[in-house]
Amino acid sequence: MPEQIDETTGWSAQKLYTTAKEKMNDGNYTDAVKFFEKLEARYPYGRYAQQAQLEIAYAYYKDNEPASAVAACDRFIKLHPNHPNVDYAYYLKGLANFNEDLGLLSRVGLGDKDLTDRDPKASQESFDAFKELVGKFPKSKYAPDAEARMKYLVNALASHEVFVAKYYIKRGAYLAAVNRAQYAVQTYPQAPVTEQALALMVKGYDELGMNDLRDDSMRVLRKNFPNSQYYTQLTPRETPWWKFWEGIFN
């Protein structure tokens, strides 16, 4: 078998970098990574090598390879913690994980499938990356977008917990439902779905015959959401009990 000739032999760091960028611009992310890796291997101490490491992370991100993108970001952060563009590495790490779990968090097409064992780990890791970016680099140009994405992630993660709690309620797994709703309330107290989570706790405790905890949850619901649609519908002898709970599932 004839020996393959490496056409890049003798190429300068600049030529390798320029070629890799051309591949990137053409959407050929796999080849772009190969050229960037050659650059880094042959010229490990130049300015092009550091930039290549960031470009590799971006290429993986664009190529829908979130795990590889995160690994590349982590490597850059570890090697160059004081690099002027390290804030971008944190941002890109957050983006990679953010996109990874959007399908789960949007809840599109979940139907009645049993997806309660799905762990939105990527979303939590995305939040952590954005949080670290904002904490370490509050004046970064990426900080405002990171904060906006953090807010979305909090709401999405809370919604996921409530969705799972509703799933358990429908299937009569009331203790599991209470646990998930309670976790949402405790972990994401400012999320819009907190009101619904509290209502689910009332429902779950009622079904379990745990009247004291049911009443406590109702008091918290009334205190924090005095105009809640859930309990204002509940008027003895006027609105059936099931009408109250029907609203939770809509």
Distance CA(160)–CA(178), nearest Å, equals: 14
pLDDT of 239 reads 47
Please indicate whether residue 106 or residue 209 has the higher confidence score (pLDDT): 209
Give the pLDDT confidence score for residue 100 in this predicted structure: 53
Q: What is the pLDDT of residue 68?
A: 96
pLDDT tens readout for residues 136-187: 999 999 999 999 999 999 998 899 999 999 999 999 999 999 999 999 999 9
Q: Are 94 and 126 in contact, with CB atoms under 8 Å apart?
A: yes
Q: Which two tokens stand for residue 183?
A: 């976790």
Write down the pLDDT at residue 8. 86
pLDDT at residue number 123:
86
Model confidence, pTM: 0.75
- The count of other CB atoms within 10 Å of the CB of residue 162 is 27
Q: What is the DSSP letter of 240?
A: -
Contact 17, 52 (CB under 8 A): yes
- Look up residue 116 and give its amino acid: T
Domain assignments of the chain as residue spans, ordered by start: 172-250
Task: Tell me which H or E stretch contains 133.
Answer: helix 121-136
Reported as a single tens digit per residue, the pLDDT across 109-126 is 334 444 444 557 888 899
